[in-house]
Chains A and B, each alone.
Chain A
Amino acid sequence: GQQLNQSPQSMFIQEGEDVSMNCTSSSIFNTWLWYKQDPGEGPVLLIALYKAGELTSNGRLTAQFGITRKDSFLNISASIPSDVGIYFCAGRGGNQFYFGTGTSLTVIP
C-alpha cells in the first residue's frame, strides 16, 4: 500500500506552545485529511484539504495542502492539555484513503 510518513513520531510540549507536524507521501493525492484520536477512541476528522496550496483553519488548528500534492502540514497554536492524543494524516488517491503512522502529542501542564 501507499506509504505516508508522518513526523515527528512523538512530541512532548509545554502547555501554551505551538506544535507543527507534517506528512509526506511518495504519491500525489487529491485530498488530504487530518484526524485526531483520543485515548481509547476512534479517529475524528479535524480538517479536510482539497487543492494544492490550500490553507484551512479550525480554531487553533491550521493545515496546509502542499503545493507538490505529496505533503501536508498541521499546526496547533497555544496548545492546551486536551490537545493530547494521536494525530493522523490521510491522503486520498483514486478512491482509497491511506493513513500515516501518527504523531503522538503529549501536553505538559
Chain B
Amino acid sequence: NAGVTQTPKFQVLKTGQSMTLQCAQDMNHEYMSWYRQDPGMGLRLIHYSVGAGITDQGEVPNGYNVSRSTTEDFPLRLLSAAPSQTSVYFCASRLSQSGYGYTFGSGTRLTVV
C-alpha cells in the first residue's frame, strides 16, 4: 500500500519556467490537498479538492493551478516559477468524513533560481 506518492523529490527551476508536481494516492480518498511548508510558517494550504472534478483555492493559491480528473491524481502546476515559490510542497489526502486528518506524501523540495 503506497499511500500518497509525490514526484519529483527535488527540483530546481529557473525563474519563469513552468512545471507540474505529481501526486497520486491509492487509498480511494475523496479529499486531496497541496500545502507548502516554509520556515516558521507551518503548512499553508494552496489548493484542495473534495472529489474528482472539484477543486478550490486555499490560503495561498496565486501562481498555482490544479485539476482533479481522477480520484487518484492531483497534480500541482506552477505556471511561471518565481523565487518566492521556493519551498517544500506536500500533497495530502483523506476520507471526506475522516477525523484522522490527512495522510501526507514525503514532499517535493523546489528551488527557483
Contacts and interface: CB of A to CB of B under 8 A. Distances in A.
B105 interface: yes
B64 interface: no
Given A88-B43, A101-B42, A48 B101 contact: yes
A48 B99 contact: yes
Which of A1, A9, A97 has most B Cβ within 10 Å?
A97
Which of A42, A90, A96 has most B Cβ within 10 Å?
A42
Interface in B13-53: 35, 40-45
Interface in A4-33: 4, 6, 9, 31, 33
Contacts of A44: 104
Given A41-B107, A42-B90, A42-B107, A90 B101 contact: yes
B20 to A, nearest CB: 19
A42 B105 contact: yes
Contacts of A31: 99, 101
Nearest to B97: A95
Nearest to B6: A42
A85 interface: no
B44 A1 contact: yes
A73 interface: no
Interface in B63-113: 90, 92, 96, 99-107
Nearest to B105: A42
A48 B94 CA distance: 14
B101 A42 contact: no
B40 to A, nearest CB: 6
B106 to A, nearest CB: 5
Given A35-B101, A43-B43, A99-B43, 6 more contacts: A4-B42, A41-B107, A88-B43, A92-B99, A97-B101, A101-B41
